[in-house]
Amino acid sequence: MTLAGWAQIIIFLVVLTALTPLLGGYMARVYQGGEVRAYRGPQVWLARVGAPVERLLYRLLRVAPEEEQDWKEYARSVLLFGLASWLVLYLVLRTQVSDPFNPQHFASGPWDLSFNTASSFVSNTSWQYYAGETTLSYFSQMAGITVASFTSCAVGMAVAVALIRGLVRRETDRLGNFWVDLTRTLLYVLLPLSILGGLFLVSQGVLQNLAHYLQFSGPTHVGQTIAMGPVGSQEVIKLLSGDGGGFFNTNSAHPFENPTGLASLVEALLMLLIPAAMTYTFGRMVGRTRQGWALYAAMLVLFVAGVVVLYAAEAHGTPAMHAAGLHGANLQDKEQRFGTAGSALFVGAGTASGDGAVNSGIEAFTGLGSAVAMSNIMTGEVIFGGPGSGLFGVLLLVVLAVFIAGLMVGRTPEYLGKKLGAREVKLAALGTLFVPAVVLGLTAVAISSHAGRQSISTPGPQGFSESLYAYLSQANNNGSAFAGYTGFIQPNPGNIGARGIPFADIAGGLAMMFGRFVPILIVLALAGSLAGGRVTPAGLGTLRTDTPTFVVLLIGFIIIFALLNFLAALFIGPLDQALTTRLYP
């Protein structure tokens, strides 16, 4: 560990905290533009440019923006849009061989791989069983992967806004209009940020072209291929959206995706920017900014703790390394341009957010380091989490925490003046427990069946960790991976003779889709239930949820929740490796 490494982490935290109210306040104005003023656009300066486009989109979609929806109508719109997005992306992937912008003449992938990939990006997961530069054409990357990154992110943010409205409104069943929320997210939040971020990344050296791959031979006269492509435009939305799937197989460790130390720091910042800002958006929309800062504080404390442990673990190495006479930092699969601190910070941001982008190999982290990466995801990705999904995920846990605190003091649980009855608590419990049940169930099947073990490349605790991480990441819509677990066998570039592993592809695809859309339906049902309630003035017995005491309570609840679900699995896998001196193959 070095002073420069700690300085990098501190600067990152300061910049993130400073940007949170700026972007969060802007997004609150976007979503509070007023449904009755939909044709005039939200009250932001970009509406001068975006309002005509917004009106045109409403006409094309045949949407009446002034007509709001109840939670069932909102949910139907979400599912309809998700189905349409999946079908379009699957079609793009399956017809790749005849699509334009395919200078390398890549064939279409196997059907099960396309099923997994379409499910991955529509669910905002970005799990990749393929190497982008040897599998996907430019058209598939641009019209398929990049577009899905925009739309899947916008869906999550729209659902979070609907839940906020459910907390704010009283005695109504209206939550807004999904198509308005989706359109405004794309036009006024994601597109402007992507343009600015893309220009910065290209200025740092990220590729942006449609050229043929370069061929050359060096002094050894061995043929080499250098991949080209429209990387910058995909890279920025990959980071902003929570869809961390890389243009290249090595993701943000590749110099064409992440060329400089400054670019790496900014890329890590982009992963957390929208999820962090949405806590302030929440505070502004409910009229109590302290509530937003309380959520931000809880997330920040958990994030900092994870990064500190990651940095310390990777800088110290493992017991196995020391037993073998290897002292110092664990540098395996670390990009030396970024060092241990840069790798720890990036992986901490990628697993704490819903993004999953990496600039180093998580599989080669120490047992303790990989346990931290897993633990970040095991919380339900509420340590900032994905855009939108992180906010509504933590609000589900807030409902449960307030309920338990109410039981402890003998008071009726309330949050923001809304009484939390049996229906609300049951929905919150179902929303938080569904994904862990999917993860543990699929992991058990994967390690106990021949079909599942085909994807495991390493025996022992490492193989168990590969399987656990795969379904943990997919069901929680993160997308980061232990590289040893695979669902795709590609004998040569161009997909000639390529085949998928059906169990991994199909089980993973279903885990991603159910892990995304079932919680969304539960959240919208909770929003509808809350919107119909009355607001009760705070009294002497009301638990304040904007104080340091509640922040500590929420942090403790998140940790206990994750431990109760996954502690046994952690000890079977990564913690086993962290406590042993055996070197696994």
> Do the Cβ atoms of 118 and 214 come closer than 8 Å?
no
Q: Where does the pLDDT of residue 493 fall: very low under 50, low under 70, confident under 90, or very high at 90 and above?
A: low
pTM of the full predicted structure? 0.89
CA–CA distance, 463 with 210 (Å, rounded to integer): 39
In a domain, residue 44? The reply is: no
The answer on pLDDT for 216 being more than 90 is: no
CB atoms within 10 A of CB 60: 8
Question: Of the candidates 90, 98, 94, 135, which has an alpha carbon nearest to the alpha carbon of residue 487?
Answer: 135
**Domain annotation covers residue 170:** yes
Model confidence pLDDT, tens digit, residues 375-402: 888 888 788 988 999 999 999 999 999 9
| Cβ atoms of 401 and 383 closer than 8 Å | no
Q: Is beta strand 418-419 parallel, antiparallel or unpaired with respect to 499-500?
A: unpaired
How far is 333 from 342, CA to CA, in rounded Å?
A: 13
In a domain, 472, yes or no: yes
- pLDDT the model gives residue 38: 43
Q: Which pLDDT tens digit goes with each residue over 84-142?
A: 999 999 999 999 988 899 888 888 888 888 899 999 999 998 888 888 888 899 999 99
CB atoms under 10 Å from CB of 544, counted, come to 11
- pLDDT, tens digit (0-9, with 9 covering 90-100), for 349-364: 988 888 888 888 777 7
Domain that holds residue 358: 3-32+68-578
The answer to the question of residue 557 being in a domain is yes
What average pLDDT is seen over the chain? 85
- Per-residue pLDDT averaged across 432-445, rounded? 90
Share of the chain above pLDDT 90, in %: 40
Q: Is the pLDDT of residue 292 over 90?
A: yes
Is it the case that residue 156 has pLDDT exceeding 90? yes
Choose among 252, 237, 245: nearest CA to 128. Answer: 245
Pairing, β 223-226 against β 214-217:
antiparallel
Q: What distance, in Å, lies between the first and last C-alpha atoms of the chain?
A: 27
Q: How far apart are CA 214 and CA 229, in angstroms?
A: 11
Tally of CB atoms within 10 A around 181? 27
- Cα–Cα distance, 488 to 128 (Å, whole number): 9
Torsion angles phi and psi, residue 206, rounded to 5: -70, 140
Q: What angle do CA 167, 170, 172 make, to 5 degrees?
A: 110
**Residue 439 in domain:** yes
**Residue 432 in domain:** yes
Rounded to whole angstroms, the Cα distance separating 175 from 9 reads: 39
Residue with tokens 């940020």: 193
Q: Which helix (H) or strand (E) holds 108?
A: none
Q: Whole-angstrom Cα distance, residue 221 to residue 305? A: 49
Query: Quick one: pLDDT at residue 545?
Result: 84
The lowest-confidence range among 21-25, 59-63, 67-71, 485-489 is 485-489
> pLDDT value at position 36?
40
CA distance 340 to 177: 46
Cα separation, 64 vs 43, whole angstroms: 19
The model's confidence at residue 190, banded by pLDDT at 50, 70 and 90, is very high
Q: How many independent structural domains does the chain possess? A: 1
Residue 14 lies in a domain: yes
* Long-range CB contacts for residues 34-41, cutoff 8 Å, separation at least 24: 35/65, 35/66, 35/68, 35/176, 35/177, 35/180, 36/66, 38/65, 38/66, 38/177, 38/180, 39/65, 39/66, 41/184
Of the pLDDT bands very low, low, confident and very high (cuts 50, 70, 90), residue 37 is very low
**Least confident interval from 41-55, 195-209, 426-440, 515-529:** 41-55
Q: What pLDDT is recorded for position 321?
A: 61
Identify whether 56 is part of a domain.
Answer: no
**pLDDT value of position 510:** 92
- 462 has pLDDT over 60: yes
pLDDT of residue 455 exceeding 70? no
